[in-house]
Amino acid sequence: MAAAVSDDVWAEQNTTPDAIEAALRELLRRRHAVNENLAPARVLNMVVIVDRQWKGEIANRLERAGRYHASRTVLCAVEDGRDKLDAVATVSYEEPGGGRIGVMREQVEIDVGPEHVGGLQTIVDPVLVSELPTIAWSPHGHEQAVEVLLPLIDVMLIDSDDPRDPVEAFARAQELCDRVYVVDLAWLRTTPWRERLAAAFDLPQRLAALSHAIELEVRHQGGSAASGLLLTGWLASRLHWEREPLAVEGRGDLTGTVERDQDEIAVRLRTAVQESPGLAGVTVTCTRGTSLSLQRGVGGLDAHEELLDGSSRDWKIVGASRGEGGILGEGIRQALLRDPTYGPALGAARELCPV
């Protein structure tokens, strides 16, 4: 069973950034004095900008991120009509046993008003742990706050599936990529599918067939067109397909063709009914009737393959989905890594977007 987590808490109304930082230092000092085996985590800062009324929901999402918590999280909640800073600082830890070292993680919640947004850098900067990389996440927009904080930020966490228009989402992602490293949750939702497709076509005979693909169908939740386009963009960039904008058809499906060595590949992005964001299925069809299809199922992905001799086979790929909590945790972890394939996939996805 997991060890019980304990919290030391400080709170103050009408406070200042210096007072918050001093309170954190005092909380850490007192807890270390009681148990010298407890040490503060020092890996990553995280800044989160949210609407005040949704602060609890976002805090719960962060709590479900699994073991990939930032060392110090600063949550700034913007509330209309507020003109003073209220703050709560929490130091969380598990009491280590047997001489082991325990880790303390810190979370600060600062309630700010619209008039504070322009000066958010001066509010957040004193509360961050110096010389650590900083990731920022603004799930409710607040573009002005993001712009103000960019000089402090090393990594920006975004979700291209949030805006209804992928064109707008990808343009913003590209703009941020030119200034900081970007981690896109819509891209991370495609990770299990990219991993399984890459593994499936790693065998020489399948890789040869993939070079003669004739059709690609990507199925996605209605609100996850960006994920579908990013997966398509990943394949297009890796396989050197020549791209042009897809056309909108029917109930929001996207269709069109891409080319490789003057061969045409039909592309279709189709919406599917499912509760969770992200992809529902992918089918790659090659010449002579061979195909590989992956479909979201209970406990993993359902795989179906049509072979050259006319036979077929089905199998289950277990544990392919991380769930939304796992996606956010992976996004935080990716702040310490670098993925060279996102940029080319984003560029290709932008080229595939309908005009």
Geometric angle at alpha carbon 322, from 319 and 327, rounded to 5°: 165
Q: Tell me, what's the pLDDT at 250?
A: 77
Taking the model in full, what pTM does it have? 0.93
Q: What's the confidence (pLDDT) of residue 204?
A: 80
CA distance 227 to 245: 16
pLDDT attached to residue 3 = 58
- Report the pLDDT value the prediction gives residue 252, as an integer from 0 to 100: 82
Q: Are strands 72-78 and 155-158 parallel, antiparallel or unpaired?
A: unpaired
pLDDT of residue 325: 67
Per-residue model confidence (pLDDT) at position 156? 98
**From edge to edge, which strands make up the β-sheet containing 213-221?**
247-249, 253-260, 263-272, 213-221, 279-286, 291-297, 300-306, 312-318
Q: How many residues would you count in the chain?
A: 355
Q: For position 184, what pLDDT does the model report?
A: 98
Which residues lie below 8 Å from residue 193, measured CB to CB, with a gap of 6+?
Answer: 231, 279, 282, 294, 301, 320
pLDDT at 1: 44
Q: What is the reported pLDDT for 321?
A: 62
Mean pLDDT (10-residue bins), the chain, 355 residues: 77 97 96 92 97 92 86 96 96 85 94 96 96 96 95 97 92 96 97 91 81 93 95 96 93 92 92 91 89 89 87 84 78 95 98 93
